[in-house]
Structure 1
Amino acid sequence: MKHVRLIAVSVSAVLALAGCKPAQESAAPDADAVAATHAAGTDQAYLASVEQWRQEREARLRDPDGWLSFTGSGQVAVGTHRVGSANDNDIVVPGGPAHWGVLTVPAEGAPVFQPAADAGLQVDGKPFAGGPLLTQLDEGGPTGIHSGAQRFYLVRTGEVYGWRYRDPESPALKAFDGVPHFPVDPAWRIEAKWTAFEPARTLDLVTTNGTIEPARVPGQAEFELEGQRHVLLPVQEEEGDELFFIIADRTSGRETYGGARFLYVPAPEGDTVVLDFNRAQNPPCALNGHVVCPTAPPENRLPLRITAGEKTYPLAH
Structure 2
Amino acid sequence: MSDDADDPHAAWREWHERRAAAVSAPYGPLALTGTFWLADCPEGRIPAVPGHWRATEAGAALTATPEDSCRLDGEPFTGEVLLDADEGSPAHARLSAGELRIVVIRREGEWGVRVYDPDSEARRAHTGVEATPYDPAFVLPGRFRPYAEDRSVQVANADGRARGLDLGGELVFPFRGAEHTLQVAVDPDDGSLWAVFGDATGGHSSYRFRFLKPGIPDARGAITVDLNRSLLPPCAFADHFICPFPPPGNTLPFEVAAGERRLKAALATGI
- TM-score by length of structure 2 reads 0.83
**Residue 231 of structure 1, CA deviation:** 1.0
Q: Which amino acid aligns with 1:212?
A: R
- Pick from 39, 44, 47 the counterpart of residue 9 of structure 2: 47
Specify the alignment match of 1:120 in structure 2.
69
**Structure 2 residue matching 1:92: 3-state secondary structure:** coil
In 2, Cα distance between the equivalents of 1:115 and 1:276?
48
Give the superposed CA RMSD. 2.9
Specify the alignment match of 1:213 in structure 2.
164
Task: For structure 1, list consecutive stretches of 5 or more residues without a partner in the other structure.
Answer: 1-40, 84-90
Pair 240,110 (structure 1): closer, same or farther in 2 beyond 3 Å:
closer
In 1, Cα distance between the equivalents of 2:103 and 2:170?
36
Q: Is 1:296 aligned with 2:258?
A: no
**Partner deviation per Cα, 1:33-59 (whole Å, 9 max, x = no partner):** xxxxxxxx99x8111111111011111
Specify the alignment match of 1:231 in structure 2.
181
**Residue 314 of structure 1, CA deviation:** 4.4
In 1, Cα distance between the equivalents of 2:10 and 2:74?
41
Q: Which amino acid aligns with 2:32?
A: F
Note if contact 2:74-2:94 (Cα within 8 Å) is conserved in structure 1: no
Note if contact 1:287-1:315 (Cα within 8 Å) is conserved in structure 2: no
1:207-286 paired onto structure 2 within 5 Å: 207-209=157-159, 210-217=161-168, 219-238=169-188, 240-258=190-208, 260-269=209-218, 270-286=220-236
**Residue 262 of structure 1, CA deviation:** 0.8
Specify the alignment match of 1:9 in structure 2.
none
Q: Which amino acid aligns with 1:250?
A: A
**Residue 144 of structure 1, CA deviation:** 3.8
Note if contact 1:80-1:102 (Cα within 8 Å) is conserved in structure 2: no
**Structure 1 residue matching 2:106: 3-state secondary structure:** strand
Note if contact 1:73-1:162 (Cα within 8 Å) is conserved in structure 2: yes
Note if contact 1:182-1:307 (Cα within 8 Å) is conserved in structure 2: yes
Structure with greater proportional strand content: 2
In 2, Cα distance between the equivalents of 1:194 and 1:112?
42
Specify the alignment match of 2:36 in structure 1.
74
In 1, Cα distance between the equivalents of 2:187 and 2:221?
20
Larger mean Cα displacement after TM superposition, 182-191 or 170-179? 170-179
**Partner deviation per Cα, 1:98-128 (whole Å, 9 max, x = no partner):** xx3321224x443311123422211111122
Note if contact 2:86-2:94 (Cα within 8 Å) is conserved in structure 1: no
1:63-212 paired onto structure 2 within 5 Å: 63-77=25-39, 80-83=42-45, 91-93=46-48, 100-106=50-56, 108-129=57-78, 130-136=80-86, 144-197=94-147, 199-204=148-153, 206=155, 207-209=157-159, 210-212=161-163
Pair 114,80 (structure 1): closer, same or farther in 2 beyond 3 Å:
farther
**Residue 253 of structure 1, CA deviation:** 1.7
**Partner deviation per Cα, 1:72-108 (whole Å, 9 max, x = no partner):** 223331664353xxxxxxx221xx8xxx3321224x4
Q: Is 1:62 aligned with 2:13?
A: no
- TM-score by length of structure 1 reads 0.72
**Partner deviation per Cα, 1:211-254 (whole Å, 9 max, x = no partner):** 4234241x322223233321112211227422112111111122
1:8-23 paired onto structure 2 within 5 Å: none
Q: Which amino acid aligns with 2:81?
A: G
**Residue 277 of structure 1, CA deviation:** 0.5
**Structure 2 residue matching 1:264: 3-state secondary structure:** strand
**Structure 2 residue matching 1:306: 3-state secondary structure:** coil
The count of residues paired between Structure 1 and Structure 2 equals: 258
Note if contact 2:86-2:103 (Cα within 8 Å) is conserved in structure 1: no
In 2, Cα distance between the equivalents of 1:186 and 1:177?
27
**Partner deviation per Cα, 1:160-180 (whole Å, 9 max, x = no partner):** 333211112323223333210
